[in-house]
Structure formats: C-alpha cells, structure tokens
Amino acid sequence: MGQDRQQQIRYKRSRFSTRLPVDRRYTASHFWTVEQQSGLWRVGMGWLYSVSGTPESNSVDVQGYVEILDLTIDKMREQSGYKDGNE
C-alpha cells in the first residue's frame, strides 16, 4: 500500500527529515493514527496495531504535528548547544 507523494508533507529541520502522510492524526508522543473503518483505528510508530475507539482528544493533523516537531527539535538543539544554521 504505497503513499502518493502528493498526500505527504516533506519535513526537514536541522538534520532530521521525514515525509508525513496527511491522512493521519498525530500525537505529541509521536504516534500516528488513521481510521480504517468507522471506530477502528490503525496506530503506528515503527509497528502497527488496530484498536477500536477514538483517538486522543489532543491529537493533531499533519500541520499541528509539524509544529510539535519544530518545538521538539528546537528544544533538543537548545539543550545540546547545537547550532547548524539550517532550519
């Protein structure tokens, strides 16, 4: 099941880069969820499983997750003193 590149956001900050599917919900703990059928959600972070129910109420769309990643990476860079000049 391949992802169409038009359905992904390319994300890069500092030395971290990834592609984020836009049809997912994301959490600050870096899990993603996608509804397979009404009330059945596939959950992922390296491994996959399905659960019945609803996602966390504070889950965000891909743009919200980009903001979470920006804050997380900036905090890590600040704590380590790392400066590369790239955003």
User: Taking 60 as the threshold, does the pLDDT of residue 4 lie above it?
Assistant: no
Task: Assess whether pLDDT exceeds 70 at residue 83.
Answer: no
For 20, residues 6+ apart whose C-beta sits below 8 A from its C-beta are 8, 9, 11, 26, 62, 65, 66
Whether this prediction's pTM lies above 0.85 is answered by no
The H or E element that residue 81 is part of is none
Mean pLDDT to the nearest integer, 77-86: 74
Amino acid at the residue 66: V
Q: What is the mean pLDDT of residues 10-20?
A: 93
